[in-house]
A and B are shown apart, each in its own frame.
Chain A
């Protein structure tokens, strides 16, 4: 028995080696470079200890990017989860053409983020301003992606639009785990729809709520391709996310080592947030 189990360990070797070579090793290299002043080109660099980390805390562009990223992530996470849960409840009900609607609502998830971004870029530039002009709003009569104060709302809108689909699927699968006889019992006791949701439905899908919140937050914190397609971090740096800053500063700006340090801190921040979020929500699960 023990010998047979050993064979399975050996089978995992290729995957572990590949993972280490292409994921772990490059990540460790990045940490190494974060202690240098390498610009990414040529062979020369000096060790500068923690200077890059010190500079990061002095850099208003980094704080600005975290400010936008957190504001965006919180708004996107909340709206994605509220709307996707409502849609899932609707799709789980006994409605006509249910499977058709499920397919329609899942469509945004299979579209490339860049394609979605460019489509909405066109809409924000050419279609929505016409609607805005009809509404008599000066702000909406222009492209809000070009407005320093409101561009983040445009980006959030598109992120929510696309992000809902995936979370809806998870909620739908969660709802389907709830036995129907519980609802039959509550009907006999005269429970209202409202009570039914908060006393039965929501507690029963609490684990799905937890994972959906964590996934939506993590994905929102890592927003990058949508930023590239819609605003490229603009106007100015109004919608520059941390990942976009790392990319433009490190590759366009020739500050590879400095932005490696930025990405090390970024990794730590996301890991901490995910851990805290899971702990908090899991504790609430047991309280329900």
Chain B
């Protein structure tokens, strides 16, 4: 009796433990379909991709694609990679986060694959420039533009022309301010909004080759970014009364309601603006960074690329979905809804709001964002936000160099 009691306790304990552990196990697919997870980072684009996913699933009964679009998506993606729980396809920008993941071997090398045949080589080069690798780890899909939106109605009312030089930009802002209207609606409570002017001024005034030299420790921000910093500060005089108290969402609402003449923002915000005010008459012009109109390039980067993870067990089906998205009919639908630009050649964006940008794309007069080359651990956004508030140029440039050096020291060399 006693022996059975003791043994019984042990058996029950082991069974309970086993039962609890088994409950943590994963489930296997029972419907015979191949399940593909498409992890995508743009909240603005969720609806557009939902439509395309539904269309693909209807055309391919044996495959089921699911879109996952969590808040703070890039950080969620990184935490999942740490756990080796990677989605099959990742849609994200060609940023430093993408660069680090690529260098760590997370994504499949697509060099020589037919998926890249229709893609503009300039954007493929942007991808490899950011990663610093010869392998091509993502298919550029949709691109964006960073610049300045303006309210056409306000411009007509004040008889203003679209500025093409820095001096004209400042004169325009002064005229708007004199008329009692907000020249620029700044949204600097969100720290990523403070890097928009940095991203436009840096590549045009300094050039993105700076970052290759910086990676090789051959130059410094202190030596080259003085003018960028000065111009970032100059704009602050033409904001509103609470530049650091308003967010991106506040700014979209305010600009859509015609509260400001101009809005330093990217094209990604246009769909959001139209949700608030479908009748908004907006235009978009490249950021005039200097006084030679012919030297000002449009800032345009890969807003969404499509990468297939190396660990995916369904690479063929994943590639099929990517190929589907790249078809002119489907990417045309996407860029129309998102007011984005196509990385696939021959698919044009005809929205009147961004008509002024067309020549820049046709002539390949565009360069990538500066922040795509800066390691995420440097936390550029925090540094620019702090700088614009304390207005200390030397502190700003020294901090950029210090943080860059710290992170470079700590980082694995690829």
Scoring B residues 19 to 48 as 1 if CB is less than 8 Å from chain A, else 0, what string do you get? 010000000000000000000000000000
Q: Which one of A4-12, A160-168, A217-225, A277-285 contacts B?
A: A4-12
Binds B, one of A76-84, A143-151, A175-183, A198-206: A143-151
Distance between B186 CB and nearest chain A CB, rounded to angstroms: 10
**Residue B17 is within 8 A (CB to CB) of chain A in the complex:** yes
The answer to whether B245 and A252 touch across the interface, beta carbons within 8 angstroms, is: no
Of A102-110, A231-239, A264-272, which binds chain B?
A231-239
Closest residue of A by beta carbon distance from B249: A125
> Is B412 in contact with A37, judged by CB distance below 8 angstroms?
yes
Q: Determine which of B78, B101, B242 lies in contact with A142 in the assembled complex, contact meaning CB atoms within 8 Å.
A: B242
Q: Decide if A129 touches B6 in the complex (CB within 8 Å).
A: no
Query: Which residue from chain B places its CB closest to the CB of A149 in the assembled complex?
Result: B389
8 Å CB contact of B106 from A18, A38, A42, A147: A42
Q: How far is the CA of A125 from the CA of B79 in the complex (A)?
A: 31
- On whether the beta carbons of B377 and A41 are closer than 8 Å, the reply is no
| Residue B244 at the chain A interface, CB threshold 8 Å | yes
Task: Give the Cβ gap from B404 to chain A, nearest Cβ, in Å.
Answer: 13
Interface pair A253/B241, CB less than 8 Å apart: no
Question: CB distance A143 to B379 under 8 Å?
Answer: no
| Whole-angstrom distance between the Cβ of B355 and the nearest chain A Cβ | 34
How near does chain B come to A43, taking the closest CB pair, in angstroms? 8
Provide the bound-state CA to CA distance between A221 and B406, in Å: 26
B409 on interface, CB distance cutoff 8 Å: yes
For chain A, the bracket of interface size reads 35 or more
With A39-B411, A145-B245, A236-B386 as given contacts, are A252 and B78 in contact (CB-CB < 8 Å)? yes
Q: Is A96 an interface residue (CB 8 A)?
A: no
Q: Which of B8-16, B199-207, B279-287 contacts A (4 or more CB under 8 A)?
A: B8-16
> Are B13's CB and A13's CB within 8 A?
yes
User: With a CB–CB cut-off of 8 A, which chain B residues contact A44?
Assistant: 104, 412
* Interface positions of A from 54 to 108, Cβ below 8 Å from B: 55, 58-61
Contact B409 A55 (CB under 8 A): yes
Specify which chain B residues have a CB less than 8 angstroms from the CB of A232 in the assembled complex: 190-191
Please give, as numbers and ranges, the residues of chain B lying within 8 Å of A234 by CB-CB distance: 189, 191, 382, 385
Residues 219-252 of chain B, each 1 if its beta carbon lies under 8 Å from chain A, else 0: 0000000000000000000000111111100100
Most chain A CB within a 10 A radius of its CB, from B2, B379, B386:
B379
Assess the B376–A254 pair: CB atoms within 8 A: yes
Interface pair B386/A41, CB less than 8 Å apart: no
Complex CA–CA separation, A40 to B85 (angstroms): 12
A256 contacts the other chain (Cβ, under 8 Å)? yes
B110 within 8 A of A: no
Most buried by A among B188, B246, B377: B377
Least CB separation from A124: chain B residue:
B245
Contact A235 B412 (CB under 8 A): no
Q: Does B109 contact A (CB under 8 A)?
A: no
A207 at the interface (CB under 8 A from B): no
Residue from the list B5, B9, B386, B410 in contact with A238, Cβ < 8 A = B386
Q: Which of A17, A55, A129, A236 contacts B385 (CB 8 A)?
A: A236
Are A11 and B410 in touch, CB under 8 angstroms? no
B residues near A237, Cβ cutoff 8 Å:
379, 382, 386
Q: Nearest B residue to A259 by beta-carbon distance?
A: B377
Contact B412 A236 (CB under 8 A): no
Contact A252 B376 (CB under 8 A): yes
C-alpha gap A125/B410 in the complex (Å): 38
Cα distance A37–B412 in the bound complex, in angstroms: 6
Chain B: interface residue count, which band? 35 or more
* Residue B100 is within 8 A (CB to CB) of chain A in the complex: yes
> Which A residues lie within 8 Å of B412 (CB)?
37-39, 44-46
From known contacts A14-B13, A254-B377, infer whether A40 and B385 are also in contact, taking CB-CB under 8 Å.
no
Minimum C-beta distance from A3 to chain B (A): 6
Measured in the bound complex, the distance between the Cα atoms of B97 and A253 in whole Å is 8
CA gap between A38 and B82 in the complex, in Å: 10
Q: Is A113 an interface position by the 8 A CB rule? A: no
**A171 contacts partner chain B, Cβ-Cβ < 8 Å:** no
Q: Judging by beta carbons under 8 Å apart, are B74 and A252 in contact?
A: yes
A40 to B246 alpha-carbon distance, docked (Å): 34
List residues of chain B with CB within 8 A of the CB of A145. 189, 245
Mark B366-397 against chain A: 1 for CB-CB distance below 8 A, else 0.
Answer: 00000000011111001101110110000000
User: Hey, which chain B residues are within 8 Å of A196, CB to CB?
Assistant: none
> Is A251 within 8 A of B17, CB to CB?
no
Rounded to whole angstroms, the CA-CA distance of A109 and B79 in the bound complex is 29
Contact B100 A148 (CB under 8 A): no
Are the C-beta atoms of B382 and A233 separated by less than 8 Å? yes
In contact, A125 and B6 (Cβ under 8 angstroms): no
| A55–B387 alpha-carbon span in the complex (Å) | 24
For B75, give its contact among A17, A42, A147, A251 (CB under 8 Å). Answer: A251
Question: In the complex, which residue of chain B has the Cβ closest to the Cβ of A38?
Answer: B412
Do residues B383 and A41 form an inter-chain contact, with CB atoms below 8 A? no
Return the chain A residue nearest B10 by Cβ.
A10
Of the candidates A13, A37, A40, A252, which one forms a contact with B81 in the assembled complex, judged by CB atoms under 8 Å apart?
A: A40
Contact A59 B383 (CB under 8 A): no
| B78–A251 CB distance below 8 A | yes
Interface pair A7/B78, CB less than 8 Å apart: no
Asked if B293 is at the interface (CB within 8 A of a chain A CB), the reply is no
A contact residues around B406 at 8 Å (CB): 55, 58-59
A44 to B246, CA, bound (A): 42
What's the minimum C-beta distance from B198 to chain A, rounded to whole angstroms? 14
Q: Is the CB of A7 within 8 A of B9?
A: yes
Least Cβ–Cβ distance between A13 and chain B, in angstroms: 5
B242-272 near A? 1/0 per residue, CB < 8 Å: 1111110010000000000000000000000
- Which residues of chain A come closer than 8 Å to B17, judged between CB atoms? 13-14, 17-18
A111 CB to closest chain B CB (Å) equals: 19
Quick check: A10 and B9 within 8 Å, CB to CB?
Answer: yes
Contacting B13 at CB < 8 Å: which of A11, A42, A45, A146? A11
Query: Which 5 residue pairs of A and B lie closest in terms of their CB atoms, listed nearest first?
Result: A236-B386, A143-B245, A146-B244, A253-B377, A42-B104
- A125-B245, A146-B245, A252-B78 are known contacts; what are 4 more A-B pairs with Cβ within 8 Å? A18-B20, A55-B410, A232-B190, A235-B385
Sample 19 A-B pairs with CB under 8 A, ordered by A number: A7-B5, A10-B9, A11-B9, A14-B16, A38-B412, A39-B104, A41-B104, A43-B105, A125-B189, A125-B250, A146-B189, A146-B242, A147-B389, A234-B385, A235-B386, A236-B382, A251-B78, A252-B376, A255-B407
